[in-house]
Amino acid sequence: MSYKGEQHEGVRHTVDKLQDAVGGLVGRVSAGMTKEADSFVQNAAIGDLYEIASAELALERASSPEVRAWAVQMIDDHMTSAHQLAAALEMNETRGVAPIPTQLDARRRTMYEHLESAPADKFDAAYLDQQLLAHEETFTLLQAYRREGDNSQLRSFAAGAAPVVARHLSHVKAFKQRARAS
């Protein structure tokens, strides 16, 4: 690749990171205001879908064994979360709540595409950056819905899922701190 091509790729990667950060901030603000069951289910389910898809990509592209191990954990934990959400929607208390979406929304599809196009030497850092954004948003969503959500069954799901996501958030922050230190 020519110097000019490398420069263009670097600029594009920087713009992608900035777009992801802005999207993450908007998502986190929106997550903090989610009180309706339909919106909660959509956001929680899409969060799980994104986590699983991005982790599968990380298994293909990550260079660090630690990042690969993290990706395996994300697949396991977010598949469990997706199954628990589906089970919660089978209860009488959730009758009439919108079904679980099966595809990423535009914002998370864009994040996935940015991750997919990240240069090989920047993939691990891009994945961890997105993990931080995604887990901050999900934790905010779960905490807000647990406190003020309009469906008791889904509030219970949020209360149960929040500690797992808090642990994920703590781990990804530690990963990023170790990466900065090295």
Token pair recorded at residue 2: 């020519």
Domain count, the chain: 1
- Residue 26: the pLDDT is 46
* Chain segment 17-26, per-residue pLDDT in tens: 555 554 554 4
pTM of the model: 0.84
* Chain segment 115-157, per-residue pLDDT in tens: 999 999 999 999 999 999 999 999 999 999 999 999 999 999 9
CA 99 to chain centre: 20
The sign of the CA dihedral 149, 150, 154, 160 is positive
Token pair recorded at residue 113: 């595409």
* Domain CATH for 39: 1.20.1260.10
Contact predicate 108/46, CB 8 Å? yes
- The CA distance from 52 to 68, in Å, is 13
Give the closest residue to 130 by CA, choosing from 59, 55, 56, 182. Answer: 55
Give the closest residue to 141 by CA, choosing from 21, 20, 35. Answer: 35
If phi > 0 it is left, if psi is from -120 to 50 it is alpha, else beta; for residue 96 that is: left
One-letter amino acid of 107: R
| Other beta carbons less than 10 A from residue 173's beta carbon | 15
- The CA distance from 71 to 13, in Å, is 21
- Residue 63: the pLDDT is 95
Domain span holding position 40: 3-181
- The CA distance from 23 to 27, in Å, is 6
Which regions of the chain are under pLDDT 70? 1-34, 182
